Amino acid sequence: MIAVAVVDARSPGNVGTVARSMKNFGFSDLLLVDPPELDPEGEAYGFAGHAREDVLPNAREVTFDYLVENFHTVGFTAITNEDARSHVRFPFRTPAELADSLRDVEADTALVFGREDVGLTNDELARLDEVCAIPASEEYPVLNLGQAATVVLYELRELTVEQTQLPDVDRERADEDEIERLYDQWADLLDATNHPEEKRSKTMRMLRRVFGRAHLTGREAITLTGVVRRARQYAEGDADSG
């Protein structure tokens, strides 16, 4: 299942535009974090087209924490012009690359779009599993919220059509709680090995990006969690304690 999440939208009309694009390309689950008031007689429903019948009235208001804890999350941002020295907005996929990566992975995924003016903050992006950026002209690479959602959902449209028709899913992604336990063990290992404190948050963001792109299976996540836990135990000098 692929949900679309909009964080702190300022304009009801933009929420309606996103809902309309979802309807165009076969998406139905709209999640709203701190949304504006969506009056059935107002701008949101006016811009939503036929999505006013189902997508918009069925939208759920959730917290950012809920997205992180329950979905494989993909945050969207403008072209970053950043390189491997930064792990907040890099590495990133294009929407077409994201479509390819999700095609053979069964995972509850949330496509997370930010505010009209500033998008998603670095703090928010740091908590998400992947970053996706839309290639655009260097002279003016910024898209508005409705445009960005339309481009992304168009690129992912085949996933919504094929999801119920794929006979053999190659990979079944680990549950989010299994992935989070792996991250917890990594954080404990960094602490046990006295990894420089000022580098830990950046290192954890890098690890989240690496594993976010890998789409670990449940067995892979459990195995890696055990390996990292064992390494932490050795670092603490109690490897024989369990």
Distance in angstroms (rounded) separating the CA atoms of residues 226 and 221? 9
pLDDT on residue 164: 42
Let me know if 177 is exposed, middle or buried by CB neighbors in 10 A (0-12, 13-18, 19+). exposed
pLDDT in tens, 43-65: 999 999 999 999 999 999 999 99
Residue 194 and residue 148 in one domain: no
Both 120 and 209 in a single domain?
no
Residues 99 and 43 grouped into a single domain: yes
Contact (Cβ atoms closer than 8 angstroms) between residue 132 and residue 94 = yes
189-241 confidence digits (pLDDT tens): 999 999 999 999 999 999 998 998 888 999 999 999 999 999 999 998 864 44
Whether residue 136 is found in the same domain as residue 104: yes
Q: Which of 138, 162, 186 is the last residue of a domain?
A: 162
Quick check: is 62 in a domain?
yes
pLDDT of residue 161: 64
Domain boundary (132, 162, 192) is at 162
Same domain flag for 179 and 101: no
- Both 29 and 143 in one domain: the answer is yes
Confirm whether 75 is domain-assigned: yes
| pLDDT attached to residue 97 | 86
CATH number at residue 70: 3.40.1280.10
Residues 144 and 184 placed together within one structural domain of the fold: no
Residues 158 and 182 in one domain: no
Domain end position, chosen among 162, 196, 229: 162
For residues 151 and 58, membership in a common domain is answered with yes
Count of domains in the chain?
Answer: 2
Q: Are residues 40 and 130 in the same domain?
A: yes
What average pLDDT is seen over the chain?
Answer: 85
Report CA-CA distances (Å) from 232 to 187, 192, 208, 235: 10, 6, 18, 5
Query: What is the reported pTM?
Result: 0.68
The reply to whether 225 and 119 lie within a common domain is no
Domain enclosing residue 225, as ranges: 174-241
Helices 145-155, 95-103: inter-axial angle, 10-degree rounding: 40
Residue 41 amino acid letter? E
pLDDT at 125 over 80: yes
Q: What tokens were used for 80?
A: 């970053």
42 CB contacts (<8 Å, ≥6 apart)? 12
Q: Is residue 167 included in any domain, yes or no?
A: no
Q: Are residues 152 and 185 in the same domain?
A: no
